Amino acid sequence: MIEIKTAAELEAMRAAGLVVARTLALIAEHAKPGVSTADLDQIAEQSIRDAGAVPSFKGYHGFPGSICASVNDQIVHGIPAPTQVLADGDLLSVDCGAILEGWHGDSAISLHVGAASAADHALSEATKAAMWAGIAAIQPDGRLTDISHAVQTEALAAGERDGVSYGIITEYGGHGIGRQMHMDPFLPNVGKPGKGPRLRVGMALAIEPMLTLGTAETEELDDGWTVLTADGSRAAHWEHSVAITDSGPWVLTAPEYS
């Protein structure tokens, strides 16, 4: 069963989403050469707790951080560490979650540390565009894989524009969100349209494509969390939590959406 929220519950999720949005904006200000991902983790936890919320990630199945900080060839679930010091030219993906009054917000951004290469910039922009294409495909009475197909189509189109065959990560994807961070349904980032559960007003989904500059094959470090590209190519990750309303998608983790 996919959780259906009332309008008031979606407003509560919006409040949690704004905590995440403010925290990611703060991290973007501090992600500079010489700063460690552990430093960013401390900033994030303080921001979340100052808002009266609790970090979703900290302690989740034993995860030690308040954010996932994934650098360069790390795709997702990177553990913040004092030894992971950011350098000029790094590509950093930050995933952040917060629980406020029992409701979850979840979002991710990719950041350029110092100067960005043209390839890294294009990769991040392609991933973000794929996310927004998926969000635009959310409509009441649509199907789940309409979102998947939109993400995949935009990722492929971006690759054609950029002259790059972007790897689309299929092992990880979006998910339902609400009273828990990860809920049904799993939302793949590839697929044919018109499949899966029907989208209903009151559902909330996290849309989160991950693209690479090479393979879509992944490996996991011995820490049991950090996921890397199998060929060492760089990766980007963008995510928003989105509610389905009568008038279409409401991006709960984007401040510009009222």
Q: What integer pLDDT is reported at residue 258 of this predicted model?
A: 47
The CATH number linked to 17 is: 3.90.230.10
pTM comes to 0.97
Closest CA to 176 of 142, 159, 200: 200
Q: Which residues contact 100 (CB under 8 A, 6 or more apart)?
A: 12, 15, 16, 19, 51, 52, 53, 54
Q: How many helices (H) and strands (E) does the chain have?
A: 4, 15
Residue 2 lies in a domain: no
Section 218-229 average pLDDT: 98
pLDDT for 46-91, tens place per residue?
999 999 999 999 999 999 999 999 999 999 999 999 999 999 999 9
Tokens of 219: 């490996």
pLDDT digits (tens, 9 = 90+) for 124-172: 999 999 999 999 999 999 999 999 999 999 999 999 999 999 999 999 9
Q: Name the domain count of the chain.
A: 1
Whether 214 is in a domain gets the answer yes
Of 13-17, 158-162, 245-249, the least confident: 245-249
Enclosing domain of residue 174: 7-251
CB 228 within 8 A of CB 193: no
The answer to whether residue 170 is domain-embedded is: yes
Q: Is the separation of the CB atoms in 241 and 230 below 8 Å?
A: no
188 in a domain, yes or no?
yes
| Residue 129 placed within a domain | yes
On whether residue 1 sits in a domain, the answer given is: no
pLDDT for the residue 256:
80
**256 within a domain of the structure (yes/no):** no
